């Protein structure tokens, strides 16, 4: 992707990590690394851009603003208006630190929210993925 093709919110090639407000261009879904790796496998080529925090063990998916506002999944946090997300520059695709696990591209900027929800739900351990309360 050339600099002219970068989304307006994307840090330039020379920039370091930039903190941006969620809720305008995208929301972010914050997931612990173990759960996130399983969800990435479920999504395969259907994933959009994914940021990895190499120190914190966290993955962040970018999704359409407001599309996951009513999610209730254990271990999953939706970051929308009022939240900020650290965005690595496009060239940072390896650690340490913050980098693109799956870099954005013209056709892969955000992940389809229903597909991400299904992948995360399928990746949760069976004892916590059910919407029903645990048996007594």
What pLDDT digit, counting tens, does each position of 82-102 carry?
Answer: 999 999 988 899 989 999 999
132 or 18, which is more confident: 18
Residue 128 lies in a domain: no
> Which candidate, 80, 109, 91, 82, places its Cα nearest to that of 17?
91
- Tell me the C-alpha distance between 50 and 86, whole Å: 12
Residue 32 in tokens: 């612990």
Instruction: Determine which helix (DSSP H) or strand (DSSP E) holds 50, and give its type and residue range.
Output: strand 50-53
Residue 98 lies in a domain: yes
Residue 5 lies in a domain: no
Residue 133 lies in a domain: no
Please say whether the beta carbons of 102 and 45 come within 8 A.
no
* Number of separate domains in the chain: 1
Residue 73 in tokens: 């999944």
Residue 134 lies in a domain: no
Domain that holds residue 31: 13-122
Band of the pLDDT at 129, cuts 50, 70, 90? very low
């Amino acid at each position: 992707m050339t600099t002219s093709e970068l989304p307006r919110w994307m840090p330039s090639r020379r920039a370091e990590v930039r903190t941006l407000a969620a809720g305008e261009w995208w929301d972010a879904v914050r997931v612990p690394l173990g759960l996130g790796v399983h969800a990435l496998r479920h999504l395969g080529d259907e994933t959009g851009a994914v940021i990895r925090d190499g120190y914190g063990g966290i993955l962040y998916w970018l999704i359409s603003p407001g599309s996951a506002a009513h999610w209730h999944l254990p271990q999953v946090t939706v970051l929308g208006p009022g939240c900020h997300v650290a965005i690595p520059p496009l060239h940072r695709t390896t650690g340490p630190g913050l980098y693109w696990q799956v870099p954005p591209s013209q056709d892969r900027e955000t992940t389809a929210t229903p597909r991400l929800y299904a992948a995360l739900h399928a990746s949760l351990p069976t004892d916590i993925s059910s919407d029903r309360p645990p048996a007594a």
